[in-house]
Amino acid sequence: MTNLLLVGLILVLALAGGHLVKVLRVPEVVGYFFVGLFLGPSFSNILDHDAVTTLEVFSEIALGLILFSIGSIFEFDNLRKVGKRSLELTGYVMAGTIAIVTLALLLVGSDWRVALLLGTIATEISPIATILVLREMRSSGPLTDSVNNLLALNNVGCLAVFGVATFLVRLIGGGDAGTSFLSFFGREFFLLVWGLVGSVALGVILGYLLAAWGSRVDEHGEVLILVLGMILLAVGASHLLGLSSLIATMTLGATLINLARESRHLFDVLGKTDPPLYAIFFVLAGAHLEVESLKVIGVAGIAYTIARMLGKIIGAWIGASRLGYPDVVRNYLGVSLVAHAGVAIGLALQLKSIFPEVADTISAIILGSVLINEVAGPMLTKLAIGRAGERHVEPHHGAFEEI
Amino acid sequence: MNLKNLAHNWRYHLIILAAAVLTIVVGGYIRRSISGNEKSENSLLRTLQTEVQQLRSTLRRNELKTIQQDVAELAMGVQPRVVSIVGAKESRRPIVTLTDALPESRRVSIRDERPGGSGLLLDTEGHILTSAGVAEDPSGFIVRFGDGTERPARLLATDPAERLALLKLDRIDGLPAAAPLNAPAPPQIGGWLVRLGRGADGRNSLSMGLLTTIRKDLSGEEVYAIDAQFAPELDGGPAIDLDGGIVGINIAHGGGVTIPVDRVIRAIDRLRSRAAKSPRSAIGIELQDLTGEMKKMLSVEHGALVTRVLPEGPAAEAGIEPMDAIIFTGQEPVNSAAALLERIHAAVPGSALQLTVLRSGTTRTIEVRTVQQSSADRAGRIQPDSEFGLSLFRQRDPDGVRIVAVEPASPADRLGLRAGDRILSVNGRQIRGFAEFQRASTEPVQLWLVRRGDQTFGITIRQEGANR
């Protein structure tokens, strides 16, 4: 089957799947995901491993777009208002997640390295799944704002704690044979800092370019070309330089919003163009996973999945209470943050080259858990937003109603 | 800190941008120098090495598989000609149990098959070449082919110098094809050779190795030493090269060597001529088994009755007469007429035989010097009549003449005669044996009385010529 045929099939089936699950009041993204599972190796194998690898570029673009828009949260005005509190809230949620997941895994008898690394991977929250649910519901309110802010900060924080955790594990577990401790330490430390600082710097540079150029472009089509081009530049350059494309694209968005207040329309342009990419993203995410992985998830995997959910809820509860957030945030923030996705898988895969001895265990747990959370996460987010009363669209609003 | 104010200062933008560019340039450079290259190249190299290794082991495995298949195919070309040879001596051995000796009826006949060895079918006449060590059993051999068929065989000749022996199969129908041996290019030292054999159970057996060296044996002739395991089954089997040509015959003697094929070919010629010339002795008598009644009358337990003494034969000269009963040769009791004949034939021509003869109640020992049997005699007592298609038992017989064989589609066959029938009378004249039949059956039209089993019937024979 040719790739274009596949893309067409993905888009059409994704739409059908999205509509189908809407009837069940389930977020569209879950429908996309199920379509992916169906097309993937678990069932029909129309999207085999090769096809998924080839089409992966669409997922990269989708992820770049969503993080670019998340970056707009880092507007200075917004930061000044909520920056410190958001940062602290993020800290609570992350700390709660790391602590509870690591502890739970240690309790079920996992290796300490596996427990610690999984604890940090657990902090990951799928920005794209969560944001798309918020968009689908056109929600607004204190909970929505908190989720948005938290996603942006969590995104950086997650990569940072994961980097630190791998660094620590390697440090305690001993470096590679034949390298002195100092050079090993120096190299690891550099890579950790480079991954964060370099990504930000890349985003800043491209952000300046985009802002300078964008102020001279008004026409809708040209704006789209420019923004998409810059985002892809950010993603591609990150790969080339060994940086985080997530942080780079997010910084790109943040830099732009702060340099050019009038650039809001650039973000709006994207919001009208990107849904097909997100559909492809979720279908591919589904095709990536195999239902078989649930069979090997094991006790540790179940412990991980439950502990992660509890960690988010408890961390958010304590944080929101202490920082004086409204009750809706305290009650529903943690539940909104359960979505878990591709980035977590990416982190788990990174471990393969670093800790081959534990990577397989971690991969198995993450793959199974992501499969559960990719379905449960968006549904819980939708439930939480609905309970919080921040939905601004009727649940059955959509194509079916309009026909 | 008022970020808004800062943002309006162009130096602020310049510093941020410069810092970012500097970070990327310096960081990218450091990363490249400390890890990027080394890491990616290392992992790439490692992947490449693993792949190369996997490829190599796959190739090696494939190569071995090819060799295995080639050897199997190679062996298949010669294997059907390779036979297993075991001594045919039958021994009655009781089954030994812990409790009791078994009653006679429960004893079973066990063919006492000694390990034996292998042989090579030389031609479609049923000649089989083997090692002299395999052909030691004088009682005959059982030859087993790869298709599971068994045929009895007897020893024709042995060449003790070459340690080779020639056997001949008793039945030669349905033999596998066998081309005569010819000498291929002599194998090079270091060349691969395959030894073939057949186990007593009929299974193929082979070993493979290098031609290690070519040695001289005690007789000063060349033998091949092959670095291939020697098993008892391989004794007497051929060794082939990678072209499938037979390069020699394996001999267990001397630690398992291989006699080169050119030597083998010469030895076969010698063995064949020796077998052809192998002299048989005769003393000029015709014999018959003693019936139970005769034994009672003569009060002997064993022996053979002399029915005819050829005039001027050694027996006649020594004074043996018809109706003598020969009961011993030397110290050996005579159990049957056939056994006595066999013993006479086996004696070296010119040697003396001590025959103990019972005549009118007294025994005497008569010494008879044997003579070489003439080729006419050797044709045997059974002669087929090519025209009429009857083979008759050439013996004196009070009960007519026995038909030994009937040639298919011959006049005799068309008349309905069968092997085992007895011709009792010709034109009313009673027949007592072959000689009388010959004399009686000279007339052009004859009426034969023939007995088959319990029934007797008559047939008419018309002859064109004077002699049937």
pLDDT tens profile A77-101: 777 777 888 889 999 999 999 999 9
Q: Are B441 and B465 in contact (CB under 8 A)?
A: no
At residue B40, the pLDDT reads: 52
Q: A373 is written with which tokens?
A: 């959370």
Distances (CA, A) of B335 to B297, B299, B338: 17, 15, 8
Which residues of chain A are within 8 Å of residue B25 when distances are taken between CB atoms? none
Q: Are A63 and A315 in contact (CB under 8 A)?
A: no
Please determine, for residue B221, whether its predicted confidence score (pLDDT) is greater than 90: no
Question: A39 vs chain B: nearest CA distance in angstroms?
Answer: 31
CB–CB contact A204 B16 (8 Å): yes
Highest mean pLDDT (candidates A241-255, A259-273, B32-46, B362-376): A241-255
Distances (CA, A) of A368 to A205, A303, A345, B373: 38, 12, 10, 97
Partner residues linked to B85 by β-bridges: B117, B143
Q: What does the mean pLDDT of chain B come to? A: 77
Distances (CA, A) of B246 to B182, B190, B234, B249: 8, 17, 14, 8
DSSP assignments along A191-260, one per residue: HHHIIIIIHHHHHHHHHHHHHHHHTT--SHHHHHHHHHHHHHHHHHHHHHHT--HHHHHHHHHHHHHHH-
Distance CA A24, CA A395 (A): 10
Distance CA A234, CA A246 (A): 9
ipTM of the complex model: 0.76
At residue B373, the pLDDT reads: 64
CB–CB contact A208 B17 (8 Å): yes
Distance CA A307, CA A196 (A): 28
Which residues of chain A are within 8 Å of residue B43 when distances are taken between CB atoms? 353
CB–CB contact B28 A241 (8 Å): yes
Of A292-296, A371-375, B259-263, the poorest mean pLDDT is in A292-296
Which residues of chain A are within 8 Å of residue B20 when distances are taken between CB atoms? 200-202, 204-205, 208
Place of tokens 């001594």: B87
Distance CA A396, CA B3 (A): 44
Q: B361 is written with which tokens?
A: 């109640």
Which residues of chain B are within 8 Å of residue A202 when distances are taken between CB atoms? 20, 24
**For chain A, how far is it from start to end, CA to CA, in angstroms?**
33
At residue A400, the pLDDT reads: 36
Helices within B158-312 (DSSP H only) = 253-256, 261-277, 292-298
Q: What is the dihedral of CA B200, B201, B206, B212, to 10 degrees?
A: -20
What is the torsional sign of CA B140, B142, B145, B149? positive
What is the torsional sign of CA B125, B126, B131, B133? negative
Q: Are B388 and B467 in contact (CB under 8 A)?
A: no
The arithmetic mean of pLDDT across residues B264-275, rounded, is 82
Within 15-44 of B, beta carbons closer than 8 Å to A belong to 16-17, 19-21, 23-24, 27-28, 30-31, 34-36, 43
Place of tokens 């002195």: A180
Q: Are A213 and A226 in contact (CB under 8 A)?
A: yes
Please determine, for residue A205, whether its predicted confidence score (pLDDT) is greater than 90: yes
A16: region left, alpha or beta (phi > 0 left; psi from -120 to 50 alpha): alpha
pLDDT tens profile B298-333: 888 888 888 778 777 788 888 888 888 888 888 888
At residue B335, the pLDDT reads: 82
Please determine, for residue B105, whether its predicted confidence score (pLDDT) is greater than 60: no
pLDDT tens profile B360-392: 888 888 888 877 665 334 333 333 455 677 777
pLDDT tens profile B159-192: 777 788 888 888 878 888 877 788 778 888 888 8
Cβ-proximal residues to B259 (8 Å cutoff; 6+ apart), any chain: B162, B163, B164, B223, B224, B248, B249, B251, B267
Q: Are A33 and A42 in contact (CB under 8 A)?
A: no
Q: Which stretch of DSSP H or E encloses residue A299?
A: helix A298-322
Nearest to B230 by CA among B239, B242, B217, B243: B239
Please determine, for residue B282, whether its predicted confidence score (pLDDT) is greater than 50: yes
pLDDT tens profile B116-152: 789 999 888 888 899 887 877 656 788 888 888 888 8
Which residues of chain B are within 8 Å of residue A353 when distances are taken between CB atoms? 43
Q: Give me the percent of chain B exceeding a pLDDT of 70.
A: 82
The arithmetic mean of pLDDT across residues A251-267, rounded, is 81
Q: Check CB contact of A241 with chain B, cutoff 8 Å.
A: yes
At residue B103, the pLDDT reads: 44
What is the torsional sign of CA B320, B325, B329, B334? positive
Please determine, for residue B428, whether its predicted confidence score (pLDDT) is greater than 60: yes
Within 160-199 of A, beta carbons closer than 8 Å to B belong to 187, 190-191, 194, 197-198
Question: B29 vs chain A: nearest CA distance in angstroms?
Answer: 9
The arithmetic mean of pLDDT across residues A362-375, rounded, is 84
Nearest to B238 by CA among B221, B226, B220: B226
Q: Which long-range contacts (CB under 8 A, 24 or more apart) does B56-64 make?
A: none
Distance CA A90, CA A334 (A): 11
CB–CB contact A187 B28 (8 Å): no
Place of tokens 């800043």: A204
At residue B279, the pLDDT reads: 62
Q: Are B105 and B80 in contact (CB under 8 A)?
A: no
Q: Check CB contact of B447 with chain A, cutoff 8 Å.
A: no
- Report strand pairing: B455-462 vs B445-452: antiparallel
CB–CB contact B27 A205 (8 Å): no
Which residues of chain B are within 8 Å of residue A80 when distances are taken between CB atoms? 3
Model confidence at B464, pLDDT cuts 50, 70, 90, reads low
Q: Are B310 and B376 in contact (CB under 8 A)?
A: no
CB–CB contact B3 A76 (8 Å): yes
CB atoms within 10 A of CB B161: 13
pTM (global) more than 0.80: no
